[in-house]
Amino acid sequence: SSLLLMSGVVVTVGLCRRLARRRLRSRPHLFAFLVEMFSTFQICACTNELSLLGNVEPKPHTALTLTYGFTVLHGLSLAGSTCNPCGTLQPMWGGGTSLRMGGLKIAAQFVAAVLARVFMHFIWSLEMAEPHLGALSQGCSSPMQTTEMQAFCIELLFSVVFQLAVLQAESVNPKYRVHLIALLITMLVYAGGNLTGAIFNPALAFSLHADCFYDKFLSYSLVYWLAPCLGKFLILHVF
């Protein structure tokens, strides 16, 4: 049921992106906003569902395999979208994207994060699959299983490694690049998922753990918003 749900989200988002491409080419700002929103919604909704499958046996092989598979699927189906505020900051910093367009895309990513959370909570409330049972009663299921300083350093390091890999992979054939990036993300999730969740995406972090941001906004904003953005700026400064 979970796989069918995530596949349905991917297909629906693909149709919405195609429709927007056909109808809104003459309105670039609205087109950019909607495409970024649809794409980020897909990643956030699927990752919300994947977060419930972490305890499916055999652990952690099932969760890691699904992480790799859906990361490849996202990379193939969401070409042209960043789905990450940190990735949107790069062209803004370099002058390749206007402040207005960059702001629209970041706004779209956070709107999609909220919509994906609301949508998935509605689906979970229907309790159509076994992993959905009791999913809404968890509240802040904190991914931070270490000290705040260590979590900050881990998310910062993972962001630097990820952004550096993306830059280095730009010269790789696209059909191989998506697998390399997916493999790297899976390895990072395996290495630090039990400590911080290995998210390094501010919009995705908010979609997954909004309750934790409400409870401990300063701590979670430092770890899951500031650290990834700082990692991006470190890479931009070095390169």
How does pLDDT run across 90-126, given as a tens digit for each residue?
778 777 788 889 999 999 999 999 999 999 999 988 8
Q: What is the pLDDT of residue 138?
A: 67
CB 12 within 8 A of CB 34: no
Write down the pLDDT at residue 62. Answer: 87
Q: What is the pLDDT of residue 61?
A: 85
The predicted structure's pLDDT at residue 11: 96
- pLDDT score for 114: 96
Q: Which two structure tokens, joined as six digits, stand for 239? A: 């390169």
Write the pLDDT tens digit of every residue in 162-209: 988 988 888 888 889 999 999 999 999 999 888 998 999 999 999 999
- The first and second tokens of residue 227, run together, are 């650290």
pLDDT at 26: 84
Residues 6+ apart with CB under 8 A from 120: 45, 48, 49
Interatomic CA distance for residues 50 and 64, integer angstroms: 10
* Residue burial 2-11, b: 16+ Cβ < 10 Å; e: rest: beebbeebbe
Q: Which of 44, 29, 27, 31 is nearest to 83 (CA)?
A: 44
Confidence at residue 139, expressed as pLDDT on a 0 to 100 scale: 65
Is the pLDDT at 226 greater than 70, yes or no?
Answer: yes
- pLDDT average, residue stretch 2-6: 90
Confidence of residue 221 (pLDDT cuts 50, 70, 90): very high
**Alpha-carbon gap, residue 221 to 230, rounded angstroms:** 12
State the CB neighbour count (10 A cutoff) for residue 81: 23
Minimal CA–CA distance to 190: which of 71, 69, 64, 68? 64
pLDDT band at 151 (very low <50, low <70, confident <90, very high): very high
Query: Which CATH code fits 2-238?
Result: 1.20.1080.10
**Which pLDDT band, with edges at 50, 70 and 90, does 12 fall under?**
very high
User: What is the per-residue pLDDT across 19-77, written as a single tens digit (0 to 9) for each?
Assistant: 999 988 789 899 999 999 999 999 999 999 998 887 777 778 888 999 999 999 999 99
